[in-house]
A and B are shown apart, each in its own frame.
Chain A
Amino acid sequence: MHDLLGYFLFCAVLTAGGWALAGLMTRVYAAERTPLSPVFGPLERGFYRLAGIRADVSQGWKAYALAVLVFNLTGFVALYAILRLQGALPMNPDRIAGMPADLAFNTAISFVTNTNWQASSGEAQLSYLAQMAGLTVQNFVSAATGMAVGIAVIRGFTGERGAGLGNFWADMTRSVLYVLLPLSVVVALVLAVQGVPQTLLGAVHATTVEGADQVIARGPAAAQIAIKQLGTNGGGFFGVNSAHPFENPTVLSNMVQCLSILLIPVAFCFVFGRMAQDRRQGWAIFAAMGAMFVLGLVVIWWGETGGNAALGLGTNMEGKEQRFGAGLSALWAAATTAASNGSVNAMHDSFMPLSGLVEMVNMMIGEVVFGGVGAGLYGMLLYVVLAVFLAGLMVGRTPEYLGRKIEAREVTLAMLAFLSMPLGILAGGAISATVPAALASVQEAGPHGLSEILYAYSSAVGNNGSAFGGFGAATPWQTTALGLLMLLGRYAIIVPMLAIAGSLAAKKRAAVTSGTFPTHGPLFVTLLILTVAILGALTFFPVLALGPIAEQTALAAGQSF
């Protein structure tokens, strides 16, 4: 099948799936009855009773934000403890030792912030307990945190005046029980059928044909892989992630995982439209994200199948799996960087520079091309606020979105959130490109080395978690710096966005007239894309020129790095 036809089918299935899921999710977050209620309802209520949660109490933005921070801090402490102490804890058949402090710090933050940047190799440095009780738990709850915040922000933008942002504990619980868990079961079963292992037994020791001893790692992989994709986590069970034949054995498993990566982020667009009671609003955001996704995908595909002029090869297969080829590797690369997932089925380091550029831009603009579960939507709403404010004045009224005025307070908060991407990526990257302790991590010379730094920092701040390869992330400098930047990229956006939502929720909703700035339709979609391009991407144009663009243009002249 031709790649582009495959892409088209993929997009069609994805859109339909997201659309269908959005209906369910809207009901779930409104605490309405769903087909799953008989199964999970008693469980949910039992959990609330046990934890002393009053799920029907709507929180203001401060209470909601505080709940998010407290919950994630607790998660961080617990995960850090498990990682440090795993050597002494049970379920460790391969006798893996406790993690060093800086690596544990980095890994814990990474999984709590839904980044899943892995400075460590899962099968070699994590016990089964750490994988299951540590990482897999965070795979669920960090995703659920993002979804809860996404829903809270949507409520602020669309809800009744003074209704609050909802209850974090309830939103989080419902995200896990009604969305993540059932979808994970389905995906895990499909993957297991395709050959992904799901076992608690230790590694297999085998003797190869040449007579050498080989240790073949395995474990409870299928369950973790399902949630790693669905929750835009991306942290692999195995170090080489989805390129590993046990993680991603077949073309079908590859397609299912690609769909899983984008499914919930796509659904969030439509949830937004449904909750706004104006589905066009959801379609507009979906269209803007979709257009950017398709553009990025086509560029990567063109770059990878077009071949490397310097090497005179037809298709760039370096660092790719034969069973996927350039087409499916390109699709995965576009999906995983667009959706803040970060799992990889090929080495992005070996992609053409132009493809690397697209991947980096996907992350640098703040993971808003579908983005992380929940996070992609509230990230895009940040751009919406800016776009509406910039262009809204041009219709001769105080800018308003969904009937709520965008005023000084919202603009201040939006700029605050917006600053975190350039601050984290540019300042972090610049220091990393200067300090010798940081430079030690860079493998390649010239522009490609700069790309490695940029990719790592974009991935961390964007909470993506994918790695370019060739970048030594396990040094104390990088684990610490990247760990802190993951925190910045997560909470320096969550808190201001919740504050914006809280501020908008308190405003009177203006009536819609023909004098109202239209926030649906092709014109607004174009405006939104241009805002992302000019405010988001152009900020990084100078440094991208020195990295991937310099490399690509040099390559065209026959020079490689």
Chain B
Amino acid sequence: MSISSTAHPGLYTAALRAAFAKLHPRALMGNAVIFVTAVTAGLTSVLALRDLAIGAPGWGATLQVAFWLWVCVLFANFAEALAEGRGKARADSLRATKAETMVRLLAREDDPAPKSVPSSALRAGQLVRVEAGDLIPTDAEVIRGVASVDESAITGESAPVIRESGGDRCSVTGGTRIVSDSLILKITAEPGKSFLDRMIALVEGAERQKTPNEIALNILLAGLTLIFLFVVVTLAPFARYSGIAIPVVTLAALFVTLIPTTIGGLLSAIGIAGMDRLVRANVIAKSGRAVEAAGDVDTLLLDKTGTITFGNRMAEAFHPARGVIETQLVRAAWLASLSDATPEGKSIVDLARRLIPALTGETAAPGEPVAFSAQTRLSGVDLPGRQLRKGAVDAVQRFVGRSADPALRAKIDEIARSGGTPLLVAQDDVILGAIHLKDVIKPGVRERFAELRAMGIRTVMITGDNPLTAAAIAAEAGVDDFLAEATPEMKLDYIRREQAGGRLVAMCGDGSNDAPALAQADVGVAMNSGTPAAKEAANLIDLDSDPTKLIEVVMVGKQLLISRGALTTFSIANDVAKYFAILPAIFVAAFPGLGVLNVMGLASPQSALLSAVIFNALIIVALIPLALRGVKYQPSSAAALLRRNLSIYGLGGLIVPFIGIKAIDMAVTALGLA
């Protein structure tokens, strides 16, 4: 499902075609700046044709200006089409999974004679049965059965996942495939409203509504366009007063170069590309507003398990009992765990090998493995003449029929206090010692949180652990705060408190009991594996069901806003150079002294005008990659970001056009175009 970010050539030709199709007035109307540019281009074309017809001098120059004004419009359309095109390709591949199939419709849960209906006819609330090999027709809730489901069409993850009725893994998505067993499903989506439909609409940009910041920016750009209209329209009478007749084409060129065509042309491409980045991260946004809000987030509520720690505890140390040498304990623990496929068991084997390198090589235990059972709560191995067992403290003590010695008991208490889990290892009726299992913080998490802190984002760890354990892990992971023994009510309270303090809160969750908190949070990310209630309450859905994704979503939101701001600043700063290119060109004949304003030393008034117009068009196409990729974003404080971006895009916006226009002027003069 993932598509490489380097688009294939077909995408470019399609976008080019679409750029012309978008010349339709109705399509242009959506973007004030580009619409005005197109009108000006049209007007200039008419003038050029008239001059051509009557053979007026200078028709060639007018024609060139008209040409470049159209190019400017086309480049803007091209940028938007290219951004949309990347989404369309993805939408097509998604649509392929939305094939029409026949499904078994049940009248009731135990209906022995299902009716065969086309999947497109399914309505919310109806019951269907799916069996191994079937495509799941649309979004639904599992109401009976356990099955493994291949969700790779949606998530790109090839390993099948378990879906079962009840609990937090009861939701299935249309377009995924059931690979074992059978399920009875209750449809939750109306036709055309499923997750897949929403995702297709989103990536295609069809349902794209302008986000709040985008609307505000559009207003600003329209206002600036109006101001420059005053400037240009009133310049004619002022110039006439001064005895200068300015040709209409010159005014048209001045107008288009002054209005913010760069950001106007790239604005929607930036928005579409931002959503696309989110889709590529396998996150579906229910609204663009949520993506922007993600950029504004001040507090992140993160689940401990899966985000901050690996879901599993790992062996950290061995503590031998009195009278037992450590190697004996390690060797016994190693033997007892060799057949244990759980992550905890594997981590014991790994630690043992690290301590006693000689243990490397042997993979299978000699003797009879004893699997973990709920009754004994022990696992281990039966070797000739001796039984090795490991398990929870009370289970092992019951197995050997006696308690651990006082020193070991003290050790066990210490392990529990530090947030770890103690296991005991025994041989027959002798306790050999304890294993310290520990929640292991994911590598890089601490650094990540430090980055977030630099960005002004507080991280809060949510855990069901007791406060003591939670505090130990929180300190180790470097979160700013934690919520121990967290209940859904506590989460909700915490979010409300943060919001009352003027902070925007983001959280992720999957269970039904997370729904109120997800709805209350400003940005709520639901896991795709979660319950329909959680997915309904959230405004973003993570297809990979990876709680770490929350951080990525924040980054995408920020990058979207930064790209917009950077290109706006760049676009407006460009005006300075354009004034210095065009004004002397217009006025120098009447006021030779104004030649001093021609700081770029442009060859002639004609070449100056043409160069400014060409620069104005080319800068759009030059910035398309940046608009699609997004401005480079390194987490840092707002002050540092502002300093960096203002110097690159503000100062750059002042300087670049001086160089660009001069270079184009040299080229234009060399080619004899003006």
- Please, which residues of chain A bring their CB within 8 A of the CB of B639? 514, 518, 521, 523
- A397-B295, A397-B561, A538-B575 known; A516 and B649 CB under 8 Å? no
Q: Which A162-198 residues have a C-beta within 8 angstroms of B?
A: none
Nearest A-chain residue to B644, judged by Cβ? A394
Q: Which B227-248 residues have a C-beta within 8 angstroms of A?
A: 227-228, 230-231, 233-242, 244
Give the contact stretch, choosing among A139-147, A326-334, A544-552.
A544-552
Shortest Cβ distance from A529 into chain B, in angstroms? 12
- A390-B568, A411-B216, A430-B238 known; A510 and B298 CB under 8 Å? yes
Whole-angstrom CA separation of A510 from B501 in the bound complex: 7
- Please, which residues of chain A bring their CB within 8 A of the CB of B457? 513, 515
Contact B583 A542 (CB under 8 A): yes
- A391-B569, A515-B455 known; A450 and B587 CB under 8 Å? no
- Please, which residues of chain A bring their CB within 8 A of the CB of B295? 396-398
Whole-angstrom CA separation of A534 from B646 in the bound complex: 15
Query: Chain A's interface: helix, strand, loop or mixed, by majority?
Result: helix
Q: Which B490-510 residues have a C-beta within 8 angstroms of A?
A: 501-504
> Looking at the complex, which one of A398, A399, A550 makes contact with B591 (CB distance below 8 Å)?
A550
Shortest Cβ distance from A430 into chain B, in angstroms? 4
Question: Is A128 in contact with chain B by the CB < 8 A criterion?
Answer: no
- Please, which residues of chain B bring their CB within 8 A of the CB of A396? 295, 455, 557-559, 561-562, 633, 638, 641
Whole-angstrom CA separation of A550 from B564 in the bound complex: 38
Question: Is B593 in contact with chain A by the CB < 8 A criterion?
Answer: yes
Most A-side CB within 10 Å, residue of B241, B254, B561, B566: B241
Contact B642 A523 (CB under 8 A): yes
Whole-angstrom CA separation of A523 from B642 in the bound complex: 8
Most A-side CB within 10 Å, residue of B215, B230, B296: B230
Whole-angstrom CA separation of A431 from B230 in the bound complex: 12
- Please, which residues of chain A bring their CB within 8 A of the CB of B236? 430
Whole-angstrom CA separation of A426 from B231 in the bound complex: 7
Whole-angstrom CA separation of A405 from B501 in the bound complex: 15
> Looking at the complex, which one of B235, B558, B638 makes contact with A542 (CB distance below 8 Å)?
B235
Whole-angstrom CA separation of A434 from B239 in the bound complex: 10
Contact B234 A395 (CB under 8 A): no
- A396-B633, A447-B591, A546-B242 known; A518 and B234 CB under 8 Å? no
Per-residue 0/1 for A526-554: is the Cβ within 8 Å of any B Cβ (1 yes, 0 no)?
01001000110011111101100110111
Question: Is B572 in contact with chain A by the CB < 8 A criterion?
Answer: yes
Per-residue 0/1 for B202-220: is the Cβ within 8 Å of any A Cβ (1 yes, 0 no)?
0000000000110111011
Per-residue 0/1 for A502-530: is the Cβ within 8 Å of any B Cβ (1 yes, 0 no)?
00000011110111111001010001001
Shortest Cβ distance from A457 into chain B, in angstroms? 11
- Please, which residues of chain A bring their CB within 8 A of the CB of B455? 396, 514-515
Question: Is A73 in contact with chain B by the CB < 8 A criterion?
Answer: no
Shortest Cβ distance from B216 into chain A, in angstroms? 4
Question: Is A393 in contact with chain B by the CB < 8 A criterion?
Answer: yes
Contact B642 A394 (CB under 8 A): yes
Shortest Cβ distance from A496 into chain B, in angstroms? 12
Per-residue 0/1 for A78-112: is the Cβ within 8 Å of any B Cβ (1 yes, 0 no)?
00000000000000000000000000000000000
Give the contact stretch, choosing among A25-33, A277-285, A297-305, A416-424.
A416-424
Contact B576 A534 (CB under 8 A): yes
Contact A394 B646 (CB under 8 A): yes
Question: Is B645 in contact with chain A by the CB < 8 A criterion?
Answer: yes
- A389-B216, A523-B642, A546-B587 known; A511 and B242 CB under 8 Å? no
Contact B231 A511 (CB under 8 A): no
- Please, which residues of chain A bring their CB within 8 A of the CB of B659? none
User: How many B residues face the partner with a CB closer than 8 A?
Assistant: 77
Q: Which B623-670 residues have a C-beta within 8 angstroms of A?
A: 633, 637-639, 641-643, 645-646, 649-650
Question: Is A556 in contact with chain B by the CB < 8 A criterion?
Answer: yes
Whole-angstrom CA separation of A94 from B566 in the bound complex: 65
> Looking at the complex, which one of A449, A450, A550 makes contact with B593 (CB distance below 8 Å)?
A550
Contact B638 A517 (CB under 8 A): yes
Contact A411 B220 (CB under 8 A): yes
Nearest B-chain residue to A541, judged by Cβ? B579
Shortest Cβ distance from B284 into chain A, in angstroms? 22
Shortest Cβ distance from B405 into chain A, in angstroms? 52
Per-residue 0/1 for B550-584: is the Cβ within 8 Å of any A Cβ (1 yes, 0 no)?
00000001110110111011001101100100010
Contact B223 A518 (CB under 8 A): no
Question: Is B292 in contact with chain A by the CB < 8 A criterion?
Answer: yes
Contact A450 B569 (CB under 8 A): no
Question: Is B592 in contact with chain A by the CB < 8 A criterion?
Answer: yes
Contact B594 A430 (CB under 8 A): no
Contact B641 A395 (CB under 8 A): yes
Contact A415 B594 (CB under 8 A): no
- Please, which residues of chain B bring their CB within 8 A of the CB of A535? 224, 572
Nearest B-chain residue to A550, judged by Cβ? B591
Question: Is A429 in contact with chain B by the CB < 8 A criterion?
Answer: yes
Question: Is B99 in contact with chain A by the CB < 8 A criterion?
Answer: no
The 3 closest A-B pairs by CB, nearest first: A515-B456, A393-B565, A553-B593
Q: Hey, which bits of chain A sit against chain B, CB under 8 A?
A: 386, 389-399, 403, 406-408, 410-412, 415-416, 418-419, 422-423, 426-427, 429-431, 433-434, 446-447, 449-450, 508-511, 513-518, 521, 523, 527, 530, 534-535, 538-543, 545-546, 549-550, 552-554, 556-557, 559
Q: Hey, which bits of chain B sit against chain A, CB under 8 A?
A: 212-213, 215-217, 219-220, 222-224, 226-228, 230-231, 233-242, 244, 254, 292, 295-296, 298, 453-458, 501-504, 557-559, 561-562, 564-566, 568-569, 572-573, 575-576, 579, 583, 587, 590-597, 633, 637-639, 641-643, 645-646, 649-650
Can you report 14 A-B residue pairs in the complex whose CB atoms are below 8 A from each other? A390-B569, A393-B568, A396-B558, A408-B212, A415-B224, A422-B231, A429-B238, A433-B241, A530-B650, A535-B224, A541-B583, A546-B244, A553-B593, A559-B593
